[in-house]
């Protein structure tokens, strides 16, 4: 089985986790974490680099020792160090480490004092009220732990969209190589750009004799075949992702694509529309009696029930059918509408690339502008900027802008919103920037009224343009803060400022339904990558997907504006 960068990164992360629990040297732990990140961000497979005889130490953060470990993993699938560490600490403890509020020290205490080393045991201990009795834990921590475990259980085995995309792209390309295959596409929640997917529903059109099902079963990442028939198969990949494959004849393509794209609620509503017209709709076509009247394309299916084409992201039966009937479907924003990105980090804080590298990569993508928005000093883990370092970066941006043609760097900051709603840097400094993004990174568990008040107060400061990742949730890791988003959206409208849709795969924050609300209130959304390296701009694709699920059009999105209009809009949110 081939070893992908993601597999090696997962091993390094686990090593780092186990070292942390064992109380190892922080520098060593950091080295493994950085290497994991390097591997995940890399645009090509290290296994191919090794095949070509290239030296891995050329990669950032990879020294001799790590290069040797990578080689070992590529050759054998693992490294003895992992086995050694797993003997020292129960490997299930690493799962606990990823719960909010649980650092290595607390995980060690749970293990030694309560003999807790699995999530289930932790859940049990929290339910029994045993955790609050431990030194340094308390009732609040216990409640947090309980909530986090329950949030995780609700999400079950779902996979983040950006992660699913890595597997989907490779698998579809592979299936297309089977003889007799015409179309191969991923339908289901994936095509609707849901933030997480339960499985991949792959639809293939092929000649009846095509060996495409055998080809799927022979895929080298298949771990288990759960069903196999003439026209369908289900498998589980080594990554845990489930795949359903359906093969239909070419003339059913549209009907099958519509059916398997869903959502189920949308399908049922469309089928009812058909019934009123005396039509039967299924995955093979649209039928009047025994005669097939449509189904070769999705358009033909919609046309048969008197509707225009409805984009997949809208198919949730949340008003799209009524809008289609009324002729008021939105013309959804597209990736190519974005003229720039308003949230990015560099090496100066926790990013991986230099200012120049980020600027050149943005220009390469055809961006007209890129805002550099480092963390402020309050975020010490990210080495946030204080005033002198920010001023130095402002000068550096001025110098770079003077040299660059065709792309403008905007001077920004992702400034921390402190607990009382003040910002982490003084107004006279913020006033020198093009753009101030405010973000909550601490005290995430304030009661709803306090958390809301804190953010509203920050939005009232003289320099405040965009609220970053408004709900603070991390998919499958952390629930949103308890905060009144509708109230914040109304305040943004009054103040003329903006909300971010953060396209980082773990965030995808703002949620689609709130995007819709912002649109109704006339508050523009900025679709930002929150890039920490040049490859992160790729994530904008998923941010746009989420924006489309939120019914956003080009004009509803701040960073579709040309630079001079953007500047005017930013000036519009200044207050004396
Ligand atoms: P997921 O996988 O949980 O993220 O969500 P989906 O929407 O991909 O759901 P999935 O994989 O169970 O099924 C794929 C599509 O197949 C679904 O979106 C609509 C269609 N479908 C599945 N079951 C039914 C059904 O009972 N009735 C109808 N009308 N459509 C169905
Ligand atoms: Ca699915
Ligand atoms: Ca499925």
Q: What secondary structure does DSSP assign to 387-412, as a single string?
A: HHHHHHHHHHHHHHHHH--S-EEEEE
Q: Which residue's CA is minimally distant from atom 24 of ligand 1?
A: 264
Residue 553 lies in a domain: yes
Mutate to test the pocket of ligand 1, among 185, 189, 246, 301 (most ligand atoms within 8 A of CB): 189
Looking at the structure, tell me whether residues 389 and 512 fall in a common domain: yes
Looking at the structure, tell me whether residues 414 and 344 fall in a common domain: yes
Q: Which residue's CA is minimally distant from atom 1 of ligand 1?
A: 198
| Long-range pairs, 273-281, Cβ under 8 A, ≥24 | 273/305, 273/306, 273/307, 273/321, 274/304, 274/305, 277/304, 277/305, 277/306, 279/304, 279/305, 281/255, 281/305
Looking at the structure, tell me whether residues 442 and 546 fall in a common domain: yes
Cβ(554)–Cβ(560) below 8 Å: yes
Whole-number Å distance, alpha carbon 262 to ligand 1 midpoint, is 6
Q: Which residue's CA is minimally distant from atom 5 of ligand 1?
A: 189
Q: Which residue's CA is minimally distant from atom 18 of ligand 1?
A: 262
Residue 576 lies in a domain: no
Whole-number Å distance, alpha carbon 179 to ligand 3 midpoint, is 24
How many domains does the chain contain in total? 4
Segments forming the whole domain that contains residue 239: 159-248
Looking at the structure, tell me whether residues 192 and 297 fall in a common domain: no
Query: Rounded to 5 degrees, what are φ and ψ at 159?
Result: -120, 135
Residue 389 lies in a domain: yes
Q: Which residue's CA is minimally distant from atom 26 of ligand 1?
A: 264
Q: Which residue's CA is minimally distant from atom 16 of ligand 1?
A: 260
Whole-number Å distance, alpha carbon 244 to ligand 3 midpoint, is 5
Boundary (domain end) residue, out of 183, 217, 248: 248
Residue 255 lies in a domain: no
- The span from the first CA to the last CA of the chain, in angstroms, equals 62
Two tokens, residue 464: 């405040």
Looking at the structure, tell me whether residues 544 and 396 fall in a common domain: yes
Whole-number Å distance, alpha carbon 448 to ligand 3 midpoint, is 37
Ligand with an atom nearest the CA of residue 161: 1
Whole-number Å distance, alpha carbon 186 to ligand 1 midpoint, is 12
Ligand with an atom nearest the CA of residue 282: 1
Q: For residue 184, what is the domain's CATH number?
A: 3.30.460.10
Whole-number Å distance, alpha carbon 200 to ligand 2 midpoint, is 5
Cβ(455)–Cβ(414) below 8 Å: no
User: d(Cα 492, Cα 558) in Å, to the nearest integer?
Assistant: 13
Looking at the structure, tell me whether residues 125 and 170 fall in a common domain: no
Residue position matching structure tokens 């694709």: 541
User: d(Cα 69, Cα 50) in Å, to the nearest integer?
Assistant: 12
Q: Which residue's CA is minimally distant from atom 21 of ligand 1?
A: 264
Q: Which residue's CA is minimally distant from atom 14 of ligand 1?
A: 188
Ligand 1 atom nearest 267 alpha carbon: 29
Looking at the structure, tell me whether residues 79 and 219 fall in a common domain: no
Ligand with an atom nearest the CA of residue 272: 1
Looking at the structure, tell me whether residues 445 and 499 fall in a common domain: yes
Two tokens, residue 492: 């943004």
Boundary (domain end) residue, out of 192, 224, 248: 248
Whole-number Å distance, alpha carbon 563 to ligand 1 midpoint, is 42
Q: For residue 300, what is the domain's CATH number?
A: 3.30.210.10
Looking at the structure, tell me whether residues 400 and 307 fall in a common domain: no
Ligand with an atom nearest the CA of residue 243: 3
Helix-, strand-, coil-residue percentages of the chain, each rounded to 5:
50, 15, 35
Residue 254 lies in a domain: no
Q: Which residue's CA is minimally distant from atom 3 of ligand 1?
A: 198
DSSP lists the bridge partners of residue 466 as: 437, 498
Q: What is the pLDDT of residue 177?
A: 95
3-state secondary structure 244-271: EEEEECHHHHHHHHHHHHCCHHHHHHHH
Looking at the structure, tell me whether residues 184 and 100 fall in a common domain: no
Ligand with an atom nearest the CA of residue 226: 3
Looking at the structure, tell me whether residues 374 and 513 fall in a common domain: yes
Kindly state the helix (H) or strand (E) to which residue 519 belongs, with its residue range. helix 512-521
Q: What is the residue-wise DSSP string for 303-334?
A: HHTT-----GGGTTTSSHHHHHHHT----B--
Q: What is the pLDDT of residue 97?
A: 85
Ligand with an atom nearest the CA of residue 261: 1
Whole-number Å distance, alpha carbon 231 to ligand 3 midpoint, is 14
Other CB atoms closer than 10 Å to residue 185's CB: what's the count?
20
User: d(Cα 79, Cα 7) in Å, to the nearest integer?
Assistant: 12
Ligand with an atom nearest the CA of residue 158: 1
What is the pTM assigned to this prediction?
0.80
Whole-number Å distance, alpha carbon 306 to ligand 2 midpoint, is 27
Mutate to test the pocket of ligand 1, among 264, 298, 317 (most ligand atoms within 8 A of CB): 264
Ligand 1 atom nearest 158 alpha carbon: 4
Two tokens, residue 394: 């402002």
Looking at the structure, tell me whether residues 82 and 220 fall in a common domain: no
Which ranges in 404-508 belong to alpha helices (H)? 427-430, 448-459, 485-495
Mutate to test the pocket of ligand 1, among 202, 256, 262, 270 (most ligand atoms within 8 A of CB): 262
Question: How far is the CA of 146 from the CAs of 131, 476, 521, 568, in angstroms?
Answer: 10, 14, 36, 47
The bridge status of strand 291-294 relative to strand 340-341 is: unpaired
Q: What is the pLDDT of residue 100?
A: 74
Q: Residues lining ligand 1, CB < 6 A?
A: 188-189, 194, 197-199, 201, 259-260, 262-264, 267-268
Cβ(204)–Cβ(244) below 8 Å: no
Whole-number Å distance, alpha carbon 282 to ligand 2 midpoint, is 18
Residue 186 lies in a domain: yes
Q: For residue 528, what is the domain's CATH number?
A: 3.20.20.140
Q: What is the pLDDT of residue 147?
A: 82
Whole-number Å distance, alpha carbon 242 to ligand 1 midpoint, is 13
Ligand 1 atom nearest 194 alpha carbon: 4
Boundary (domain end) residue, out of 100, 132, 154: 154
User: d(Cα 384, Cα 381) in Å, to the nearest integer?
Assistant: 8
Whole-number Å distance, alpha carbon 194 to ligand 2 midpoint, is 10
User: d(Cα 344, Cα 532) in Å, to the nearest integer?
Assistant: 6
Residue 256 lies in a domain: no
User: d(Cα 428, Cα 290) in Å, to the nearest integer?
Assistant: 75
List per-residue pLDDT tens for the chain, 576 residues long: 678 888 899 999 999 999 998 889 999 999 999 999 889 888 788 999 999 999 999 998 899 999 999 999 999 989 999 999 988 888 888 888 878 778 888 998 999 899 998 888 898 899 999 999 998 898 988 988 888 887 766 656 789 999 899 899 999 999 999 999 999 999 999 999 999 999 999 999 999 889 999 999 999 889 889 999 999 999 998 878 899 999 999 999 999 999 999 999 999 999 999 999 999 999 999 999 999 999 999 999 999 999 999 999 999 999 999 999 999 999 999 999 999 999 999 999 989 899 999 999 999 999 999 999 999 988 887 789 999 999 999 999 999 999 999 999 999 999 999 999 999 999 999 999 999 999 999 999 899 999 999 999 999 999 999 999 999 999 887 889 999 999 999 999 999 999 999 999 999 999 999 999 999 999 999 999 999 999 999 999 999 999 999 999 999 999 999 999 999 999 988 665
Q: What is the residue-wise DSSP string for 165-194?
A: HHHHHHHHHHHHTSTTEEEEEE-HHHHTT-
User: d(Cα 70, Cα 64) in Å, to the nearest integer?
Assistant: 10
Ligand 1 atom nearest 189 alpha carbon: 8
Ligand 1 atom nearest 196 alpha carbon: 4
């Amino acid at each position: 089985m081939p070893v992908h960068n993601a597999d090696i990164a997962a091993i390094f992360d686990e090593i780092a986790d186990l070292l942390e629990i064992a109380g190892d040297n922080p520098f060593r732990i950091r080295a493994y974490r950085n290497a994991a990140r390097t591997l995940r961000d890399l645009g090509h497979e290290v296994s191919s680099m090794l095949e070509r005889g290239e030296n891995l130490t050329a990669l950032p953060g990879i020294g001799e020792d790590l290069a040797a470990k990578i080689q070992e993993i590529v050759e054998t699938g693992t490294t003895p160090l992992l086995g050694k560490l797993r003997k020292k600490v129960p490997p299930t403890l690493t799962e606990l480490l990823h719960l909010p509020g649980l650092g290595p020290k607390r995980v060690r205490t749970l293990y030694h004092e309560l003999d807790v080393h699995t999530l289930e045991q932790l859940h049990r201990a929290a339910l029994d009220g045993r955790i609050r009795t431990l030194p340094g834990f308390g009732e609040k921590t216990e409640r947090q732990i309980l909530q986090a475990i329950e949030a995780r259980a609700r999400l079950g085995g779902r996979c983040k969209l950006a992660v699913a995309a890595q597997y989907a792209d490779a698998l579809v390309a592979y299936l297309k190589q089977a003889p007799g295959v015409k179309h191969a596409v991923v339908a289901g929640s994936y095509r609707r750009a849901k933030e997480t997917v339960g499985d991949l529903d792959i639809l293939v059109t092929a000649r009846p004799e095509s060996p495409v099902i055998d080809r799927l079963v022979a895929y080298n990442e298949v771990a288990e075949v759960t069903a196999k028939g003439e026209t369908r198969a289900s498998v589980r990949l080594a990554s845990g992702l489930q795949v359903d494959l359906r093969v239909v004849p070419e003339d059913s393509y549209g009907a099958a694509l519509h059916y398997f794209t869903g959502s189920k609620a949308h399908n049922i509503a469309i089928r009812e529309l058909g019934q009123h017209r005396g039509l039967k709709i299924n995955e093979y076509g649209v039928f009047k009696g025994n005669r097939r009247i449509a189904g070769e394309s999705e358009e033909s299916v919609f046309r048969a029930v008197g509707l225009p084409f409805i984009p997949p992201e809208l198919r949730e039966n949340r008003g799209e059918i009524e809008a289609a009937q009324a002729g008021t479907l939105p013309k959804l924003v597209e990736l190519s509408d974005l003229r720039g990105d308003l949230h990015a980090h560099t090496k100066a804080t926790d990013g991986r690339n230099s200012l120049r590298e980020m600027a050149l990569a943005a220009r390469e993508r055809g961006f007209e502008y890129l805002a550099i928005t480092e963390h402020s000093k309050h975020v010490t883990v990210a080495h946030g900027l204080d005033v002198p370092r920010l001023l130095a970066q402002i000068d550096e941006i001025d110098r770079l802008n003077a040299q660059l043609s065709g792309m403008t760097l905007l001077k920004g900051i992702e400034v921390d919103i402190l607990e009382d709603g003040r910002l982490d840097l003084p107004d006279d400094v913020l006033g020198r920037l093009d753009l101030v993004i405010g973000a909550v990174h601490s005290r995430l568990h304030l009661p709803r009224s306090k958390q809301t008040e804190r953010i509203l107060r920050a939005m009232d400061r003289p320099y405040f343009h965009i609220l970053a990742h408004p709900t603070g949730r991390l998919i499958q890791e952390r629930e949103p803060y308890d905060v009144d988003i509708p109230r914040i959206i109304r305040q943004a409208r009054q103040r003329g400022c903006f909300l971010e849709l953060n396209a980082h795969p773990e965030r995808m924050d703002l949620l689609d339904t709130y995007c819709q609300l912002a649109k109704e209130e006339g508050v523009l959304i900025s679709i930002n990558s929150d890039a920490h390296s040049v490859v992160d701009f790729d994530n904008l694709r998923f941010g746009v997907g989420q924006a489309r699920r939120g019914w956003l059009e080009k004009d509803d999105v701040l960073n579709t504006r040309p630079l001079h209009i953007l500047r005017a809009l930013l000036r519009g949110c200044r207050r004396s």
